[in-house]
A and B are shown apart, each in its own frame.
Chain A
Amino acid sequence: MTAMQNVSLGAHYVVHMPQPDDFAFWRERARALIQCDVPPDRVSWVEPGGTGDLFAHGGNARGEKRLPVPDKDAPPVRVSKRFMSLARNAGLHSDPERFGLLYRMLWRLQSSARIMEDKADPDVRRIEEWDKSVRRDSHKMHAFVRFREVEGDEGEHYVAWFEPDHHIVRTNAGFFKRRFANMKWSILTPRGCIHWDGKVMRESGPAQRSDAPSDDPTEDLWKSYYASTFNPARLKVGAMMAEMPKKYWKNMPEAELIPDLIASAQAREAGMVAAGEREERQQPKTLAEISSAITACRDCPIAECGTRAVMGEGAIGTPLMIVGEQPGDQEDVSGKPFVGPAGQLLDECLGTAGIDREAAYVTNAAKHFKYVQRGKRRIHQSPTAKEIDTCRWWLEAERAIVRPRIVLALGASAARGLLGKTVSISQARGAPIPLDDGSELWVTVHPSYLLRLDGDAREEHGALFARDLSAVRARLSELAV
């Protein structure tokens, strides 16, 4: 090897890096040293501000001047692509030993070119780990930089403060340039800063947190979003901490919410479960059991109205069950279903159609009267779908005991109480809908609807109601045969 004549035997070389992330500089020097056949244990690499190792002291602090110069015709140095891509990242790591180890790897690669493929080799593993942590640090920088807007003389300027673990700021300038090409921004870090004015990228020395703005009005919206998008029923703090370790929290506005969100999560989840709780209660076996249980039922807010529960009326095993919406003012007073004005109209129409009310079981989709007080009067309020669905449990229990062949639902609320979904009366009326237990559901309007109409409309809908009732009557006779 001709280069050997430029090398003092047994000499120790020190290379002073001008920048901690200057890979190109390292590459130049390393190439020359390899060409001069200088083994790794005879070179020290010193970062700016670093003291180097044991051999780097002494009179010739400018040891770099004495670096050997390879011959012009020295053979070119070759390495695998894999090494180059790893080394570029590993060179950005904050470990002061990185350049020395990279040189040792380069040295070893000259004799065994494919050593990078041996993942069990300790040097290869260390370089891979450096590469991995630098890539992760860059990725976290892309993710966790938070810009704050400042109104400058020349329009909006976005400034961020970030604390990277490694020397990654300069290499990541391109990412932010491509992403925010038409925005003025600066990223300040303790390892140096980058500034983009829409045309030119500029660098400056290390900054302090106090150089960055302290807030931004949009952060309140962002924090609201962060809190709202969190699902308290799925608390997984470990998974969050793995990806967003605490060290990043201090520079992320949303992170200050985390302790409270975690603390309140279980209470919020338990609240949601309890609000809808229907533990595996035994379904009541007799009508008397239902009657006493609904009096105590507090599953939905209607019960808070302070009204009494109105139980259905009729015999077990009757072929027809008539279901209304909910008890009204008079039903609440008397404790019996369908005794008010609508009940009287119903009795009249049933009579005309030839149906014996006494032979039917009459009940409601909701068991309590829901109202608002206006002066002395209690004004009827329709139950919500949720309330009907909640009360459906009692209606199902009644049906299981009475076992009617035909169920007649009066109005949309009653139909929902039986089907679990809202149907349109005009589309559902006039034909039977099969229910799960084999019985038939017939749907028609509620008699109180007729009470609210007058003139021709009353005539017309009265006739339709009568027609529905006769259809039910006809079906009842068919089934009776």
Chain B
Amino acid sequence: MSRQTLRQKLEILADAAKYDASCASSGTAKKNSLGGKGVGSTEGMGICHAYAPDGRCISLLKVLLTNHCIFDCHYCINRKSSNVRRARFTPQEVADLTINFYKRNYIEGLFLSSGIIKSSNHTMELLVEAARILREEYDFRGYIHLKTIPEADPGLIHQAGLYADRVSINVELPTTSGLTRLAPDKDAAQIEGALAKTKSRIIEAKDERKRFKHAPRFAPAGQSTQMIVGADDASDADIVGKASNLYGNFGLRRVYYSAFSPIPDASAVLPLKRPPLMREHRLYQSDWLMRFYGYAPGEVAQATDKHGNLPLDIDPKLAWALKFRGSFPVDVNRASKEQLLRVPGLGTTAVGRILAARRHRTLRLDDVAKLTQSIAKVRPFLVALDWRPTTLTDRADLRALLAPKQEQLELF
């Protein structure tokens, strides 16, 4: 086989890495390159340097070190039995590519993952080596996200956390049975064990820094994970339950949901259809409800239908409100923050604005309209000085009034 050029390798290994949803570069410790030898800064807010036509942000150089893999997970394009072209970077090549892209302001940093070659430890060593070259030889102070391999030696994972801003381990599927069926080489207990270990290291390192100024940072942007949606038959209620366990047990910064999308040379056991993007979107919305709106996982599950799935045509918050109409309407001039957060159509920003504005005036519906995105959507659930929805809140066809209209196609 002829030798691949750097560009060919980049094409193969970027293509192989794109099914990882995360590209975040936010929430890490502040650092900059003043007084150093190299380049790089992180100032808290992540930056999306470009957007691809799939609407996803390109913040990091997201590549695999290699897409050779000894595992055979059905949903994965890089599984052993797949016929994709294979390629392999050296750690040095990855580091050079990162620096060259960074200097031109294309990226915030590196997201490095890998297929498993030889052994988990060998692979983990190579990942850590790439991060080491960047941090120690190039004095790179941008963002690094390393995917860690749950089966690897804890010492190596520790090393990874010292170089990286964020580490992550994918739980892959929401149910253990799904994992056994679709990822026969992976072990749920081992994955969760590794998540737990990383969590305790992050806490220890934070604690040490409180006492010793120069204690090393360990993954200051925390850890995250990813679940694939639509490859097995787990319901939305299962997924939301699993996510809330993960947030609770392992202190995760984020749980990413990735709609299973058709991959080239797919395994025969998978449903090959258009990815359930809307379902993915609804799951993210419910994730937000739990993280920022004070909903308990059980309450999100209350918004699901009898199969445990969230409705696709309306958002989960509206679905919940329609089921629990007794809690509405709420008085925009008197209701607590928690109550206002439950009003469909009011986001955290709008609620903040309402709370600030009502110290100065008693709000009319017009005032509320200036503070929110769409007054038509929130109106049935609110009472204002000059507005009372009377029977609107209890109308049987309220759902139809608020759901996006179905459009009949024109004859052509």
CB <8 Å contact, B50 and A254: yes
- Bitwise, A212-226 to B at CB < 8 A (1) or not (0) is 000010111110111
* Bound Cα distance from A252 to B52, whole angstroms: 12
CB <8 Å contact, B262 and A272: yes
Interface residue count on the B side (C-beta < 8 Å): 75
Check if B188 is an interface residue, CB within 8 A of chain A: no
* Bound Cα distance from A232 to B55, whole angstroms: 11
Residues of A within 8 A of B (CB): 114-115, 117-120, 125, 139, 142-149, 158, 160, 175, 177-183, 216, 218-222, 224-240, 243-244, 252, 254, 258, 261-262, 265, 269, 272-273, 275-278, 384-386, 389-390, 392-393, 420-422
> Shortest CB–CB separation between residue A263 and chain B, in angstroms?
10
* Bound Cα distance from A140 to B19, whole angstroms: 26
Interface centre among A125, A143, A235, A261, by most chain B C-beta atoms within 10 angstroms, is A143
CB <8 Å contact, A224 and B277: no
Chain B residues numbered 63-101 whose CB sits less than 8 Å from any CB in chain A: 72, 80-83, 97, 100-101
Residues of A within 8 Å of B50, CB to CB, are 143-144, 226, 244, 252, 254
Check if B363 is an interface residue, CB within 8 A of chain A: yes
Chain B residues numbered 286-339 whose CB sits less than 8 Å from any CB in chain A: none
CB <8 Å contact, A234 and B259: yes
Residues of A within 8 Å of B52, CB to CB, are 226, 229-231, 240, 261
**In the complex with contacts A118-B357, A120-B363, A143-B48, A178-B104 CB distance below 8 A:** no
Residues of A within 8 Å of B33, CB to CB, are 178-182
Partner of B262, one of A146, A226, A228, A273: A273
CB <8 Å contact, B268 and A393: yes
* Bound Cα distance from A225 to B97, whole angstroms: 11
* Bound Cα distance from A389 to B261, whole angstroms: 19
CB <8 Å contact, B105 and A385: no
Total number of residue pairs linking A and B with CB closer than 8 Å: 214
A124 nearest in chain B by CB position: B357
**In the complex with contacts A146-B106, A175-B43, A278-B272, A224-B359 CB distance below 8 A:** no
21 example contacts (A-B, Cβ-Cβ < 8 A) are as follows: A119-B357, A120-B357, A144-B50, A147-B103, A147-B105, A160-B105, A218-B100, A218-B104, A221-B97, A221-B101, A222-B104, A228-B12, A229-B62, A231-B19, A231-B54, A236-B54, A237-B55, A272-B266, A277-B272, A389-B268, A422-B81
Residues of A within 8 Å of B269, CB to CB, are 389, 420
- Bitwise, B33-58 to A at CB < 8 A (1) or not (0) is 11111111101010111111111111
A300 nearest in chain B by CB position: B268
CB <8 Å contact, A262 and B72: no
Check if B204 is an interface residue, CB within 8 A of chain A: no
Residues of B within 8 Å of A237, CB to CB, are 53, 55
Residues of B within 8 Å of A238, CB to CB, are 55
* Bound Cα distance from A421 to B183, whole angstroms: 10
Residues of A within 8 Å of B370, CB to CB, are 119-120, 125
> Shortest CB–CB separation between residue A433 and chain B, in angstroms?
13
CB <8 Å contact, A228 and B41: no
A416 nearest in chain B by CB position: B81
- From B3-11, B162-170, B194-202, B390-398, give the one contacting chain A: B3-11
Residues of A within 8 Å of B363, CB to CB, are 120
> Shortest CB–CB separation between residue A235 and chain B, in angstroms?
6
Check if B360 is an interface residue, CB within 8 A of chain A: yes
Check if B213 is an interface residue, CB within 8 A of chain A: no
CB <8 Å contact, A275 and B264: yes
Residues of A within 8 Å of B10, CB to CB, are 221, 224-225, 228
> Shortest CB–CB separation between residue A184 and chain B, in angstroms?
11
- Bitwise, B1-29 to A at CB < 8 A (1) or not (0) is 00000110011101101110000000000
* Bound Cα distance from A247 to B40, whole angstroms: 27
Not counting A119-B371, A182-B33, A221-B7, a sample of 17 additional A-B residue pairs whose C-beta atoms are within 8 angstroms of each other reads A118-B357, A120-B357, A143-B47, A143-B48, A177-B34, A179-B41, A180-B103, A183-B39, A183-B103, A229-B52, A230-B52, A230-B53, A231-B19, A238-B55, A272-B266, A272-B272, A393-B268
